[in-house]
Amino acid sequence: MKKNQKTRTLATAALLSAIILLFGLPMSPLYFLGFIKVDVLQATTLHVPVLIGAVIAGPLVGGILGGVFGLCSFIDGFLIYSALGFLSPGADVTGAAAAGIVALRITLLLLLTFVPRIVMGVLAARLGDALRRRMRRPLAFALTGAAGSIMNTAFFLGLLALFSGPLQAVTVFGMNEGLLAFIGIITAYHGIPEAVLAAIVVGAICTALWPQFGQGRHGEPAHKQNS
C-alpha cells in the first residue's frame, strides 16, 4: 500500500472511530444518536460508520471499527444489565461461586458485544469487494450496507440465544417462548430499519467517498473500476 493510501486509511479509521465513540459512549452528549431507546429495547446507528470504514478501507479497518463499536456496546450493556441486576449472582450465592458467576456473565457479555461487531466489519469489507467487482458501485455499496447490518443482528441474536441462560439477558420475557419473542421483536422493529438505514447511508456515502479514499486500495487501475 502506498504511503498516501496508508495515510488516507489511517485518517478514515481515526475519523470513524471518533464518530463511533462520540455517538456510542454514555457520557457523550450525542449518545442518544448512537443508541436509540425504544421502550426496553435499543436500536443503534453505530453499525453505519463501521460499514462505511469496512467498504472504503478494507477488512482490517472494518475489524478495528467493529471493535470500537463493540467497546461502546459493552459499556452500554454493562451499565444496563448491572442496573437490572442481570450481572449479579443472586442473593442465594456467595463467596467464590458468586465471583465465578459474575466473571462468567461479564465474559459472555464481552463476547456478545465484541464478536458480532468485529465479524461484521471484516465480512462486510470482503463482501463489498466482491460485489463491487460484479455490479455498479452504488448498488454494491447499498447491498453491502444492508447485508452487514443483517449480519450484525443475526450474529448478536445467535450469541444471545446461546448465552441467554448464564447471561440472563432476557429473563424479563420468560426464558423459552420469551426468548423467541424477544428475537422476533428485535428483528422486526430494529433489524429491518437498521438494515434499510445502512443500505441508504452506506450506499450514498461510500459512493461519494470512493474516488478519494477507496480508489487504488486493491492496486486496481482507475479505468478498470466500476463507476
Highest mean pLDDT (candidates 108-117, 140-149, 184-193):
140-149
First to last CA, the chain: 22
Composition of the chain by helix, strand, coil, percent to 5 = 80, 5, 20
The predicted pLDDT at position 8 comes to 79
Of 66, 85, 68, 79, residue with least CA distance to 21: 68
Section 56-75 average pLDDT: 95
Radius of gyration of the chain (CA): 19
Residues 64, 17: contact at Cβ < 8 Å?
A: yes
So where are the chain's domains?
A: 3-218
Mark 20-39 as b/e (b = at least 16 C-beta within 10 Å). bbbbbbeeeeeeeebbeeee
Q: How far out from the chain centre does Cα 187 lie?
A: 15
Percent of the chain past pLDDT 70, that is, above it, reads 74
Fold of 3-218: Arp2/3 complex 21 kDa subunit ARPC3 (1.10.1760)
Q: Which residues pair with 28 in a beta bridge?
A: none
Q: How confident is the model at residue 38 (pLDDT cuts 50, 70, 90)?
A: low
φ, ψ dihedrals at 220, nearest 5°: -90, 135
- The predicted pLDDT at position 164 comes to 67
pTM score of the predicted model: 0.83
Q: What rounded mean pLDDT belongs to the chain?
A: 81
130-186 tens-digit pLDDT = 999 999 999 999 999 999 999 998 888 888 777 766 555 444 444 445 556 666 666
